[in-house]
């Protein structure tokens, strides 16, 4: 089972956001909504998305502002949706880092086709989410589950995201700064110490001896290294 692609709709029109979100959810996407720039930035501090659908005229700013700030730290695809259909507005949106421009009023079929096309260009064809095995532990990144000795290990949201990132980048030293950026998002106000705390929690739940970890190793002065043994069935980057 593949992990659902996540879309953030930044739109202050409740009716339009509702029917757009319903259409995307019916197609299999996971959808979140923000009604203004402030709400969007708040959501982006804690969550990551595969695509943003952004209105330009927002109550507390412009969708252009959201895209400009986002492009400083992320390449996530952005589709602008706006009643402003002048050529200058379209060019400005694309120059700001937008990937597509959808004129309002738009048909839901056209919107969905543009979203699907941009998802394919950005992420390729849908692939089976990888499953990782190490020792007595199984990590299913699609189902977002972890088992140890066949028993479920309950992880918090960020604990799982951190573990999944480590599994996807095995046997190399990963700086704390990279983990903070990739797992907590570039907009997060979390500090480097947060990474160390979550590493400790993962060790306590997964390692036989958390004081002498076998898998999640500290590389002093550099970061962390996830030691994944060569086992059949492990996904490899």
The pLDDT tens digits of the residues spanning 145-185 come to 899 999 999 998 789 989 999 999 999 999 999 999 888 86
The CATH number covering residue 173 comes to 1.10.10.10
Sign of CA dihedral 184, 16, 78, 111: positive
Question: What's the pLDDT score for residue 182?
Answer: 84
Same domain for 40 and 145, yes or no, is: no
Whether 63 is in a domain gets the answer yes
Same domain for 17 and 118, yes or no, is: yes
* pLDDT tens profile 66-80: 998 888 888 899 999
Whether 177 is in a domain gets the answer yes
Which of 61, 88, 123 terminates a domain? The answer is 123
Model pTM above 0.75: no
Q: Is the peptide bond before 16 cis (omega within 30 degrees of 0)?
A: no
Same domain for 107 and 195, yes or no, is: no
Which of 123, 139, 165 terminates a domain? The answer is 123
Whether 234 is in a domain gets the answer no
Same domain for 17 and 99, yes or no, is: yes
Same domain for 106 and 141, yes or no, is: no
Domain hosting 162: range is: 131-226
Same domain for 136 and 71, yes or no, is: no
**Confidence check: pLDDT of 213 > 50:** yes
127 band by pLDDT with thresholds 50, 70 and 90: low
Same domain for 41 and 109, yes or no, is: yes
State what percent of residues in the chain have pLDDT above 70: 92
Q: How many distinct structural domains can be found in the chain?
A: 2
Same domain for 163 and 118, yes or no, is: no
Whether 231 is in a domain gets the answer no
Whether 235 is in a domain gets the answer no
Which of 106, 123, 140 terminates a domain? The answer is 123
DSSP string for 206-224: H-SSTTS-SSEEEETTTEE
State the chain's mean pLDDT as an integer.
88
**Confidence check: pLDDT of 231 > 70:** no
- Sheet containing 6-10: which strands, arranged edge to edge? 30-34, 6-10, 51-55, 78-82, 100-103
State what percent of residues in the chain have pLDDT above 90: 59
Same domain for 103 and 179, yes or no, is: no
Question: What's the pLDDT score for residue 235?
Answer: 52
Whether 1 is in a domain gets the answer no
């Amino acid at each position: 089972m593949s992990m659902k692609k996540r879309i953030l709709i930044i739109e202050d029109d409740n009716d339009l956001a509702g029917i757009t979100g319903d259409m995307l959810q019916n197609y299999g996407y996971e959808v979140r909504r923000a009604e203004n720039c402030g709400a969007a930035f708040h959501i982006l501090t804690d969550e990551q998305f595969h695509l943003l659908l952004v209105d330009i005229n927002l109550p507390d700013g412009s969708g252009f502002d959201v895209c400009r700030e986002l492009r400083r730290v992320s390449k996530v695809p952005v589709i602008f949706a706006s009643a402003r259909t002048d050529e200058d507005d379209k060019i400005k949106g694309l120059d700001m880092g937008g990937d597509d421009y959808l004129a309002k009023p738009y048909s839901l079929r056209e919107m969905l086709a543009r979203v699907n096309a941009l998802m394919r260009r950005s992420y390729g064809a849908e692939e089976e989410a990888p499953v990782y095995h190490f020792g007595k532990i199984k990590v299913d990144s699609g189902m977002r589950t972890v088992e140890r000795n066949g028993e479920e290990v309950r992880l918090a949201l960020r604990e799982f995201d951190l573990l999944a990132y480590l599994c996807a980048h095995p046997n190399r030293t990963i700086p704390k700064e990279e983990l903070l950026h990739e797992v907590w998002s570039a907009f997060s106000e979390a500090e480097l110490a947060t990474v160390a705390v979550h590493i400790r929690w993962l060790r306590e739940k997964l390692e036989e001896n958390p004081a002498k970890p076998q898998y999640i190793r500290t590389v002093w002065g550099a970061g962390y290294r996830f030691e994944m043994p060569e086992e059949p069935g492990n996904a490899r980057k």
